[in-house]
């Protein structure tokens, strides 16, 4: 398939705020995008997968001052932590954007200029409550009282009263167009519970949005008025079009990838992506993204994760303790994507041992060991397929369509469960067909049974390349599947294992995890 003929898929993470070290939440969001990007590439798409860091704003300026270094030096250091995380987690992003880059400053200022020319921004004065931690403005009615009578944002962040000159975006004007847009595009916000929240918020009334600040200087200067810098969220959201070459709308990447197929975000920043961002784009007469998915948060052994509790989960610690593929698998398997989830070490060990080691790892090891021992270490020749063979092989071949549909709605847990239905069926088929007994009574039938099992493992491994790429690659190596035949173009009979193909000596892919205290 020539590149020009390929369908396009553009998936983005939020750009991560650089005043903190990467944690499980960052790893989770980007992992979901990585799985989608890998799947779409295998499925014949031309993919652009973007992540990066959000480096402007009052919070960053304060953090840099606290360390006694310049904001640029601070952001250079902390942004690198997120690049390092991408490498450590095996992410396949095509670009990494920083909002301190020149390409991004140009894009932000061009968007601002367009909004000015279209009379979507005007100069006024802001009086109201602002949360530095959230980089967000809040109305009086949204605030709650803290334990000492202080005002807090709905997120629990402290707020401060701000009075300063400010440019405003005419957000109120876009209330009805946004509601019409949500109605015409029912899949724009997911899951449904989040969609309902956003619609309720917009129906409650939108006020014009303050989009500049004058009380600090770390940000993109407002064109023609250097006393103001752009509100950090107007700056941050623009990253998605910066990476496509905006403001050059004739750029190849802009033509190919914008509008984005999917913005993946945490539920805490949904309002910015599902209300402000489409409003900015509509006001600039630019296409809106196709979908915004807001996932849930993790707790740790039942407790809210916070630095003050000292229970922040480091993705590096998980990878070092359990393995990269095991960590990737658990994060997308444990919780229905979109819901909040609880991390526990016991749950992680259970998933690793019962599903990866016992169900899939043991299946592949048993089958390949029997082939190695009884079929001269080569793919056996299949005979006529029976009803029992097809009862396993047909669902295995149907998996691609099932998984594709699940991932298109970001239902990673459903995708993995559908794969495990086939894995469990394959284990039951081994026990029922008993190829070790057939070796003595019907050697040809034994060959057919083992071939059916190998084909089932091949289909599972092709799909699992998206979630556990290293381990799935090892399984495909052991099936002697050539590196250039691991895309979905070779799904089903098109890539079926050929009788007589020599196989390497099998080795275990998913070892059981044993706690060190138990003598591992």
Q: What 3-state DSSP class applies to 183? A: helix
What is the predicted pLDDT for the residue at 4? Answer: 57
- For 10, the enclosing helix (H) or strand (E) is strand 8-12
d(CA 360, CA 367): 11
d(CA 360, CA 486): 18
The reply to whether 401 falls in a domain is yes
What is the predicted pLDDT for the residue at 473? Answer: 98
Summarize pLDDT for 190-234 with one digit per residue, the tens: 999 999 999 999 999 999 999 999 999 999 999 999 999 999 999
Of the spans 34-38, 231-235, 312-316, which averages the highest pLDDT? 34-38
Neighbours of 284 (CB within 10 A): 18
> 131, 153 in Cβ contact below 8 A?
yes
Residue 273 has pLDDT above 60, yes or no: yes
DSSP code, position 97: E
The reply to whether 508 falls in a domain is yes
> 430, 368 in Cβ contact below 8 A?
no
What is the predicted pLDDT for the residue at 140? Answer: 87
Query: Dihedrals φ, ψ of 519, to 5°?
Result: 100, 25
Residue 460 has pLDDT above 80, yes or no: yes
CA–chain centroid gap for 397, Å, is: 26
Express as a percent the part of the chain with pLDDT over 90. Answer: 86
Q: 332-369 burial, b for 16+ CB within 10 Å, e for fewer?
A: bbbbebbeebebeeebbbebbbebbbebbbbbbbbbbe
The reply to whether 428 falls in a domain is yes
Summarize pLDDT for 70-125 with one digit per residue, the tens: 999 999 999 999 999 999 999 999 999 999 999 999 999 999 999 999 999 999 99
Summarize pLDDT for 320-350 with one digit per residue, the tens: 999 999 999 999 999 889 899 889 999 999 9
- For 226, the enclosing helix (H) or strand (E) is strand 225-230
Residue 131 has pLDDT above 60, yes or no: yes
| Cis peptide upstream of residue 247 (ω within 30 degrees of 0) | yes
Residue 304 has pLDDT above 80, yes or no: no
> Please, which residues bridge with residue 88 across strands?
none
The reply to whether 252 falls in a domain is no
d(CA 82, CA 334): 24
Domain of 454, in residue numbers? 346-517
Helices (H), 90-163: 102-117
The reply to whether 351 falls in a domain is yes
The reply to whether 370 falls in a domain is yes
pLDDT-based confidence at 497, cuts 50/70/90? very high
CATH at residue 512: 1.10.730.10
d(CA 244, CA 254): 5
Summarize pLDDT for 355-369 with one digit per residue, the tens: 999 999 999 999 999
What is the predicted pLDDT for the residue at 22? Answer: 87
Query: Dihedrals φ, ψ of 386, to 5°?
Result: -90, 175
User: 117: which 2 tokens?
Assistant: 């020319």
Query: How many domains does the chain fold into?
Result: 1
Residue 46 has pLDDT above 90, yes or no: yes
What is the predicted pLDDT for the residue at 459? Answer: 98
Closest CA to 457 of 438, 473, 476, 474: 476
The reply to whether 142 falls in a domain is no
What is the predicted pLDDT for the residue at 517? Answer: 57
Closest CA to 234 of 219, 215, 214, 224: 219
Q: What 3-state DSSP class applies to 231? A: coil
User: 390 CB contacts (<8 Å, ≥6 apart)?
Assistant: none
The arithmetic mean of pLDDT across residues 475-490, rounded, is 98
Residue 518 has pLDDT above 60, yes or no: no
DSSP characters for 109-129?
HHHHHHHHHTT-EEEEEEEEE
What is the predicted pLDDT for the residue at 18? Answer: 85
Summarize pLDDT for 1-31 with one digit per residue, the tens: 444 589 999 999 999 988 778 888 899 999 9
The reply to whether 149 falls in a domain is no
d(CA 265, CA 295): 6
State the average pLDDT for the chain.
94
d(CA 352, CA 360): 10
What is the predicted pLDDT for the residue at 520? Answer: 37
Q: 64-83 burial, b for 16+ CB within 10 Å, e for fewer?
A: beeeeeebeebbeebbeebb
Neighbours of 118 (CB within 10 A): 12
């Amino acid at each position: 398939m020539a590149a020009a003929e390929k369908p396009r898929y553009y998936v983005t993470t939020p750009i991560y705020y650089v005043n903190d070290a990467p944690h499980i939440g960052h790893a989770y969001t980007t992992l979901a995008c990585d799985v989608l990007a890998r799947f779409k590439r295998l499925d014949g798409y031309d993919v652009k997968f973007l992540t990066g860091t959000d480096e402007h704003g009052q919070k960053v300026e304060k953090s840099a001052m606290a360390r006694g270094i310049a904001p640029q030096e601070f952001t250079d250091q902390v942004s690198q932590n997120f690049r390092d995380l991408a490498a450590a987690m095996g992410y396949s992003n095509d670009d990494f954007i920083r909002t301190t880059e020149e390409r991004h400053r140009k894009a932000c200022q061009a968007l601002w200029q367009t909004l000015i020319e279209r009379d979507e921004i005007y100069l006024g004065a802001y009086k109201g409550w602002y949360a530095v931690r959230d980089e967000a403005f809040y109305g009086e009615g949204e605030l709650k009282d803290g334990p000492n009578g202080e005002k807090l944002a709905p997120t629990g962040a402290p707020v401060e009263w701000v009075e300063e000159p400010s440019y405003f975006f005419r957000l109120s004007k876009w209330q009805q167009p946004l509601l019409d847009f949500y109605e015409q595009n029912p899949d724009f916000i997911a899951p449904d519970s989040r969609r309902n929240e956003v619609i309720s918020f917009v129906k409650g009334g939108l006020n014009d949005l303050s989009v500049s600040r004058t009380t600090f200087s770390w940000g993109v200067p407002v064109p023609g008025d250097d006393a103001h810098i752009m509100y950090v969220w107007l700056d941050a959201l623009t990253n998605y079009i910066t990476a496509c070459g905006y403001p050059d709308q004739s750029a190849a990447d802009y033509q190919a990838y914008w509008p984005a197929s999917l913005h993946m975000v945490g539920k805490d920043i949904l309002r910015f992506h599902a209300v402000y961002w489409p409003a900015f784009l509509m006001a600039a007469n630019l296409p809106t993204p196709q979908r915004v998915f807001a996932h849930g948060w993790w707790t740790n052994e039942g407790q809210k994760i916070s630095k003050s509790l000292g229970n922040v989960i480091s993705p590096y610690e998980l990878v070092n303790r359990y393995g990269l593929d095991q960590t990737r698998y658990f994060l997308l398997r444990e919780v229905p994507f979109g819901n909040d989830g609880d991390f526990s070490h016991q749950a992680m060990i259970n998933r690793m041992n019962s599903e990866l080691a016992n169900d899939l790892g043991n299946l592949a090891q048993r089958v390949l060991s029997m082939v190695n021992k009884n079929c001269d270490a080569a793919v056996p020749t299949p005979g006529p397929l029976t009803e029992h063979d097809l009862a396993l092989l047909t669902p295995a071949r149907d998996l691609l369509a099932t998984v594709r549909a699940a991932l298109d709605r970001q239902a990673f847990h459903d995708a993995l469960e559908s794969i495990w239905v086939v894995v469990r069926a394959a284990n039951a088929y081994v026990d029922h067909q008993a190829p070790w007994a057939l070796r003595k009574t019907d050697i040809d039938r034994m060959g057919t049974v083992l071939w059916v099992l190998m084909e089932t493992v091949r289909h599972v491994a092709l799909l699992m390349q998206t979630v556990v790429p290293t381990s799935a690659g090892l399984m495909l190596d052991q099936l002697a599947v050539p590196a250039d035949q691991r895309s979905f173009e070779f799904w089903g009979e098109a890539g079926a294992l050929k009788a007589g193909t020599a196989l390497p000596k099998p080795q275990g892919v998913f070892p059981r995890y044993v706690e060190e205290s138990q003598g591992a």
